[in-house]
Amino acid sequence: MTLDKLKTGKNAGIITVGGDGALRCRLLDMGLTPGTAVMIRKIAPMGDPIELYLRGYELSIRLEDAQKIEVEELD
């Protein structure tokens, strides 16, 4: 499934980061690499963007970008 479908508070492992160009590189640079454990901490009040927890810090990305990240639920 893709990251935007993950329920808040659930852990998942990243399989692939899709998309292209600057955005994809930025996601990879921020540590969203294959195998990384990630959790959705929160969804912004207007429903977008979302707040992720990974590698010990919080990162916010937009839903449309989360759609490009393939994950598998861990718990």
* CB-based burial label for 2 (10 Å; 0-12, 13-18, 19+): middle
Residue 7 is classified by DSSP as: P
Pick from 10, 4, 72, 18: nearest CA to 39: 10
Q: Rule CB under 8 A: say whether 75 interacts with other proteins.
A: no
The answer to whether 8 contacts other proteins (rule: CB under 8 A) is no
Residues of this chain, 26-55, that bind other proteins according to CB under 8 A:
26-31, 33-36, 41-49, 51, 55
Q: Which is nearer to other proteins, 2 or 43 (CB)?
A: 43
Does residue 70 touch other proteins according to CB under 8 A?
no
User: Which positions lie near other proteins, rule CB under 8 A?
Assistant: 16-17, 21-31, 33-36, 41-49, 51, 55-62, 65
